[in-house]
Amino acid sequence: MIFSELYSVYYNTVAKILTRALEPDVTEKDLQQLVVDHAFSESILTILPALKSGKWPLLKDDLTPVVNQAPTMPLTLLGKRWMKAIAEDPRIRLFGAQLPGLEGVEPLFTRDDYKIYDQYADGDPFEDETYIRHFRLILSAIKENRAVKITLVNRHGKEVRVRFYPKGFEYSLKDDKIRILATGCRFRQFNLGRVICCEYYTGTGPWRERPKAERRKDLTLLITDKRNALERSMLHFAHFEKRAERIDDEHYILRLKYYENDETEMVIRILSFGPYVKVVEPESFVKLIKERLLSQKSCELR
């Protein structure tokens, strides 16, 4: 259903080659560069040789194409069905886009067909008009490289005003929240859902402030493979840059890099595995776990 040559890197790259070959003065080097830029690392050994040898008779000896126009292909039914499915998603309102040509198309899935069962309940209000307006203004500011000034409610419930250059958005499916990535101020990110007022900033700098680069820290864990802990932890920590190593049939070392700002979250994620995941290094992180355990011990749970 999904695994089809119609979507393949090879078809896409050949389409680019034929398009380029329609232009005058094309060289073999130009075409090779297209393969390097758009195909896989070893495709250079296949695509152009197949075209030049006539194995795929689409390019003549003088590198002119047999086709008369730049190759195109209509959108497949699969693509339309997927678009129809996401048209039902409340988050689509952020983009204000009208999805074209989908009349009579059956969605690939509906919202009744699946559930994200462990997503947090206090996600952003994606259908709220003010939220949508803020999103769109910041999106425009990112694209036009303009500064904005916002008023937001911080985590202590206080209103704060900040001006900065928005550089992108970061979305977390777990939190169901969008964060604005910033530069030109000392904060690295803001929760879009906390913004209560947002407009372009028309004043001038100075823009000397920069958010601190987010430091990544190393963490070494010892996994004891009982109650399927190995698979559970490997999947749970899969989204980090990581390396695993087997010690013996039951023990594994997992080394990963996490972002310093997420340290508290990492502590509770590790605690969730109970005695099957133990922090080995660094000592400072071991201390954080010990503090939690000491505090638990003082609760006198019987």
Partner 1 sequence: MTDEIKESAVAYSELVKNFEKIRAYIREFYVYGFKNRSEYSARSARSYDDERRRIESWLGDYMRFTQTVEGKNVFLSVDSRATKHNPFYKAWKAKSFTDKDITLHFLIFDILSSPDIRKTLSELVEEMDRYLCQFKEPMTFDESTVRKKLKEYAEEGIVRMEKEGRKVLYSCAPDTDISNLADMIDFFSEVAPCGVVGSFLQDRLKPHQDIFSFKHHYITQAIDSDILAQLFEAIHEKRYITVDNLGKRFSEPRTVRLVPLKIYISAQNGRQNLIAFHEKANRLNAYRLDYMSDIRLEEVCAKFDALRTAINKVEKHMWGVNCRWSLRHLEHVEFEVKVEDDEQHIVRRLEREKRCGTVERIDEHHYRYAADVFDTNEMLPWIRTFISRITRMNFSNRTAENKFKDDIREMYRMYDIDGGDGQ
Contact set for partner 1, span 87-106 (CB under 8 A): 89, 91-92, 94-95, 97, 99-102, 106
Question: Residue 230, Cα to own-chain centre: how many angstroms?
Answer: 25
Q: What gap in Å lies between CA 116 and CA 118, rounded to an integer?
A: 6
What minimum distance in Å lies between the beta carbon of 24 and partner 1? 19
Asked if 74 is part of the footprint of partner 1 (rule: CB under 8 A), the reply reads: yes
Q: Rule CB under 8 A: is residue 153 a binding residue for partner 1?
A: no
- Shorter beta-carbon distance to partner 1: residue 113 or 161: 113
Cα-flanking dihedrals φ and ψ of residue 222, to 5°? -105, 120
Cα–Cα distance measured from residue 287 to residue 258, given in angstroms and rounded to the nearest whole number: 17
128 binds partner 1 (CB under 8 A): no
* Contact flag: residue 248 with partner 1 (CB under 8 A): no
Contact 234, 254 (CB under 8 A): yes
For residue 48, state whether it binds partner 1 (rule: CB under 8 A): no
Q: Which residue stretch of 26-34, 126-134, 146-154, 167-175 sits at the interface with partner 1 (rule: CB under 8 A)? A: 167-175
Task: Name residues contacting partner 1, limited to 257-276 (CB under 8 A).
Answer: 257, 259, 268-269, 271-275
How far is CA 143 from each of CA 6, 159, 174, 211, 276, rounded to the nearest angstrom?
A: 32, 27, 27, 20, 47
CA neighbor of 165 nearest in space, from 144, 184, 140, 143: 184
CB of 291 to partner 1, least distance (A): 8
For residue 226, the minimal CB distance to partner 1 (Å) is 11
Site for partner 1 (CB under 8 A): how many residues? Answer: 127
Cβ at position 26, least distance to partner 1 in Å? 17
Please report, as residue ranges, which positions from 179 to 238 form the binding site for partner 1 (by CB under 8 A). 179, 181, 228, 230-232, 234-236, 238
DSSP-derived secondary structure for 56-81: STTB-TTS-BSSSS----PPPHHHHH
Q: What residues between 276 and 295 interact with partner 1 by CB under 8 A?
A: 278, 286, 289-295
Q: Is 270 exposed, middle or buried (0-12, 13-18, 19+ CB in 10 A)?
A: buried
Q: What are phi and psi of 31, to 5 degrees?
A: -70, -40
Q: Tell me phi and psi for residue 212, to 5 degrees.
A: -65, 140
Whether the link from the prior residue into 65 is cis, omega within 30° of 0, is: no
Q: Does 119 bind partner 1 (CB under 8 A)?
A: yes
Q: By CB under 8 A, tell whether 26 contacts partner 1.
A: no
Answer yes or no whether residue 109 interacts with partner 1 by CB under 8 A: yes
Among 33, 90, 120, 207, binds partner 1 (CB under 8 A): 120
Of 165, 187, 201, 240, the residue at the interface with partner 1 (CB under 8 A) is 240
If the CB atoms of residues 208 and 235 are measured against partner 1, the closer one turns out to be 235
Q: Please, which residue, 100 or 205, has the CB nearer to partner 1?
A: 100
- How far does CA 119 lie from the centroid of its chain? 17
